[in-house]
Each structure stands twice: as C-alpha cells, then as structure tokens.
Chains A and B, each alone.
Chain A
C-alpha cells in the first residue's frame, strides 16, 4: 500500500531542488536516463552513485523514501540479474558446476543492469518527491508546448494525467474495500479453485468500473459547475520561471554525462 501511495506524492522540505522549475527537473531526468545508458564501467557506476546520492541528500528527504520507491521492483531486478548472469558467457569462468559455468562477464552485466534500474527508479522518484503533481504537469505542458504547432494539445494531456494521478489512489482504496466485501460473501480469491477465480474477478471489476463511471460523472459536474471549459484560456498561479539554478541543474547533468562517457 505504501508503494502506491508514493505515486504522485510530493514531500515538502523546501530544499533547492524543490524550488527548481519543473521543466529543468524533467530535462535533468531525461539526461539522467541517457547517463545511465552511457555508464559501462565500474568507475562510471561509482561516480554516478556518488552523484545520485549527493543530489538525493540535497533534497533533505530521507534516503529511505527513495529506497522504498524501488521496493516494488525488487523481484524484477532479481529476475533480470539472474537472466543476465546465466545468459552472458564472457570473460573467465568463476564457478563451474558440471556443464554449467558462471562467467565474470555475466555477473558484471547482471550487476550493472540491476544497479541501472535501481538508479533509474530511485532517482526519478526525486522528480515526484520534490514536485507537486500540479507543478509537474505544468512543467510537462511547458516542455511539450513546442508540439502545439503539430496539433498536439499538451494541456489536455496534462489534465488527463493530473486527474488520473488524483483518482488512482482513491480507486485503489475502493477496490480494496470491494475485495474485502466480496471476500466476506465467500469470494476469497485466495481460498477458491482456479475455475472460480474468473467469476470472482467479475464480482470485483463490475463494482469498481461502475463506481469509476459514477466518480467521473460527479467530477464532470464539479468541474463544469466551476466554469471549466475545454481549451478555454486560463491563468496560472504558479508560473514557470527558469532561473540560474535551473541552468546550473541541467549543466550539472550534462557534465555528468560527459564524465561517465569518458570513464
């Protein structure tokens, strides 16, 4: 439950990262993705680790929150590690059991994949932790605004994302209750044979979907009653302001990228 609640939740500490323009943070994250893909040596990984932890610490958000955000993916990471380890047969064999050998290259690549994934997930949660969903959306809208000329409507897209982020936790909570209610009527997914599980799924999905539609209807009323019209002009309370710190933030990532590419 904790993991899903971290979705779209900001943790306010007022650090310098919190104050940055959302656009620079999104740009930074995209660059970070490139940096991860460019890192191919232990030295690069090491430098990246120092850099990532330093930036995370500077947000004044406890490190354990970042680690928690990667927790749901732990089995996936383990799986990737094992697959990489077993499939790559490079370098010297470290361990041989009959016809089966573990190679140094396999272990290294396995470890790299896991570290990359860990970096990616923990560090990108920095974006959601330090930026409220509204500002994040606004930043996204800003970054996408050049595409307006191509007929794309970034404000519609971000409105959709915003509402989805707002309602996903509510709907998940409700699904929990419906799951419990049906379990109380004897439809406990855990205790039933597979054949019955399909039918039980219907008993969960129909109420959840019906309720989502009802919520959507209520939401439309509430938005329209407050004068909302699609594509009508709006002003913004929080304006996007690109400052020196933002430029520095992005430059920092570019330097990192060059550094790991060289290492």
Chain B
C-alpha cells in the first residue's frame, strides 16, 4: 500500500476524548464523562448491553450527533464546527443495516458517491475504484443493484466505499450483526487485513470472535465507561461479561467449566489441542 496517511506510528493518540457527554436532558444524559484515548493502529472493541450508548459514542466522534460537553480530538484536530469536514474525511463508518447505507443505485455509484464529494480527478477516482473493489473482491459486481447482492456483499461494498476515501480510522457499528456466519468470518479476515495495514479500528460488537481478535475492549454500561481492558481480561471476568450481555468464546467456556470440575487446563486453541493436553498418553479404551 502506498498510502501515506495511515502509516503506523504507534503511541500517538488519533482519538482522544475528555469528559465527553451527550444527552438532551442534562438530568438523564445518555453518555456522561467519557475520557479515553486510542493510539494509531489499535483495534478497539466497544461492548455493552443495548441502550448503553455505544452507538451514540461513535457518532459523536464525527459529529453525526452533537456532543453536549467535553473535548474530542481526532487526528490532532479538536472537533469544532470548522473541522467537522476534515474529521469526517479521516473517519469512515460502516453501519449495521447493509441496505440502508447503500446510497448509489449500483455498486460503482455507491463507491463514487464519497469520491465525488472529495472532488477528486477522474484518474484518481478511477484508480481508487479499481484498487478498492479489487481489494474487497467486488470488482465483478460494479454494475449490480443492491437488490441483487447478499448482505455480506453489501457490507463489502460499504467497506470499499469507505476505504476508497482513505480514512485512517474506520468505525464498525454492529456491522456484522445482520450477516450470516460465512460473511461474518469473511468480515473478520478483512478486519485482520486492515489491522495489518495500520488502520485504527473501532468496532461495536457482541461477537466473541471479533472481540477476541481485537487489541482492546472498552465496556460501556449505563452511559459511562465501565471497563477498559484486554479481550482476555474481559473473558475471564464473568461478572463484567454478564453486565455487558456477552459470552466468552466456546473454548473459554469449556476451559472454565473444566476448571470448575477441578480439571486444570488452559484455553485450548483447537479441539485437537484439548484432547492432546487432557489425554497425553496414547492409550485407547
């Protein structure tokens, strides 16, 4: 990749929030006193029960919703009226419903919708259109109408549309929850590729596999930040999991149940590994 704006400079924060709040009624804010920072290139899972304010939080970052208090700084720019345009340029968002974010009548038009708004030259648009449709494996679908695509294909189009605008940060707002299992796995592979290319990823999710693949978990509860920890720490904290309406991946559940029965075992990486650890001697019964 030859992009210069997504070079991995670990350490500096691309997103920082200081005492951020949101709500129309100051007595009952939807979000209150959120302070956090995300370094460049990090993959962050945002978890929490429905109605905890996850989706609101990410919409504050590019001013799709107006914050009622606090400071938001994205890529070194404080979020103000004048910087909204440039901040929206550095944040891409993929939403839950694959249908409702498809602006164009064809795949090509949808990808061009964002590029034309950037006032790019024909050659530049053409190059990005080719590059990103190829990357997402949708170049054969360019003239298709959204009604002819599966949910997974539509989400690929949404991702291509956004990556073609070259944001450094990509936010996924429950982007996998309406997909079938195969498409969810494909999305996970795309995300891993994006991490390797240095994108900063914020992902609202309930999916244990997606959380496990990420670097860090922010747990929201009742409109405030309840925990900031690693996926492994989250999956070991039964109380927090229950509060966030989550479950750990199956191998973690199994290891926990085995430990409860006094069988010492680590979380197995595969079923084969479990069998090999539990029954190291090759006896047959």
Indicate whether A and B are direct neighbours in the complex (CB within 8 Å).
yes
Residues of A within 8 A of B (CB): 5, 8-10, 12, 132-134, 162-163, 165-166, 169-170, 173, 214-215, 218-219, 221-229, 232-237, 239
Nearest CB in chain A to that of B121: its residue: A235
A225–B109 touching, CB < 8 Å: no
User: In the complex, are the beta carbons of B64 and A224 less than 8 A apart?
Assistant: yes
- Which of B7-15, B26-34, B111-119, B184-192 is near enough to bind chain A? B111-119
| Contact, CB under 8 Å: B126 / A222 | no
Give the most central of A132, A214, A215: most B CB within 10 Å.
Answer: A132
Q: How far is the CA of A224 from the CA of B85 in the complex (A)?
A: 10
A227 close to B88 (CB less than 8 A): yes
Is A239 a contact partner of B162 (Cβ separation < 8 A)? Answer: no
Which B73-117 residues sit within 8 Å CB-CB of chain A? 85, 88-89, 91-93, 95, 97, 99-106, 108-109, 112-117
Q: Is B72 an interface residue (CB 8 A)?
A: no
User: Do the beta carbons of A234 and B146 come within 8 Å of each other?
Assistant: no
Greatest chain B CB density within 10 A among A214, A225, A237, A239 is at A225
Q: Which residue of B lies closest to A216 (CB)?
A: B100
CA distance A133 to B165 in the complex (A): 23
Q: Is the CB of B97 within 8 A of A218?
A: yes
Tell me the complex Cα distance, A236–B108, Å.
13
* Alpha-carbon distance A73/B99, docked complex (angstroms): 30
- Chain B contributes a number of interface residues (CB within 8 A of A) equal to 42
Task: Name the distance in Å between A120's Cβ and chain B's nearest Cβ.
Answer: 24
Minimum CB–CB distance for B124 against chain A, Å: 9
Bound complex: CA A232 to CA B85 (Å): 11
B115–A219 CB distance below 8 A: no
Cα–Cα, bound, A239→B105 (Å): 17
In the complex, whether B147 has a CB less than 8 A from a CB of chain A is yes
Please pick, from A214, A222, A234, A236, the residue contacting B103 in the complex, using a CB distance under 8 A.
A222
B100 and chain A: residue at smallest CB distance: A218
Q: Do A222 and B125 touch (CB < 8 A)?
A: no
Q: How far is the CB of B162 from chain A (nearest CB, A)?
A: 7
B59 at the binding interface (Cβ < 8 Å) = yes
Cβ of A109 to closest chain B Cβ, rounded Å: 39
Cβ contact within 8 Å between A132 and B109:
yes
On whether A134 and B89 interact (CB within 8 A), knowing A170-B147, A222-B101, the answer reads no
> In the complex, how many angstroms separate the beta carbon of B82 from the nearest chain A beta carbon?
13
Q: What is the predominant secondary structure among interface residues of chain A facing chain B? A: helix
A218 to B145, CA, bound (A): 19
Contact B64 A236 (CB under 8 A): no
Having A133-B109, A219-B100, A224-B64, one finds 8 other A-B pairs with CB under 8 Å, namely A10-B143, A132-B143, A134-B112, A166-B146, A170-B147, A218-B97, A221-B59, A221-B64
Q: Which residues of A contact B131 (CB under 8 A)?
A: none
Closest to B145 in A: A9
In the docked arrangement, what's the CA distance between A229 and B145, Å? Answer: 24
Residues A166 and B64 in contact in the complex (CB < 8 Å), given A218-B97, A225-B88, A237-B112: no
Task: Give bound CA distance, A216 to B1, whole Å.
Answer: 35
Interface centre among B88, B100, B125 (most CB of A within 10 A): B100
Given A133-B105, A134-B106, is A225 in contact with B147 using a C-beta cutoff of 8 Å? no
Q: A12: which B residues are within 8 A, CB to CB?
A: 143
Across-interface contacts of B97 in A (CB, < 8 A): 215, 218
Separation in Å of the B99 CB from the closest CB of chain A?
6
Asked if A221 contacts B161 (CB within 8 A), the reply is no
Q: Does B105 lie within 8 Å of A170, measured CB to CB?
A: no
Q: How many angstroms between the C-alpha atoms of A163 and B114 in the bound complex?
A: 15
Chain A to chain B contacts (Cβ below 8 Å), 10 pairs: A10-B143, A132-B106, A162-B105, A215-B100, A219-B101, A223-B103, A227-B117, A235-B119, A235-B122, A237-B115
CB distance from B43 to the nearest CB of A (A): 19
B161 proximity list for chain A (CB < 8 A): 226
Q: A226 vs B91: C-alpha distance in the bound complex, in angstroms?
A: 9
Question: What residues of chain A lie closer than 8 Å to B100, measured between beta carbons?
Answer: 214-215, 218-219, 222
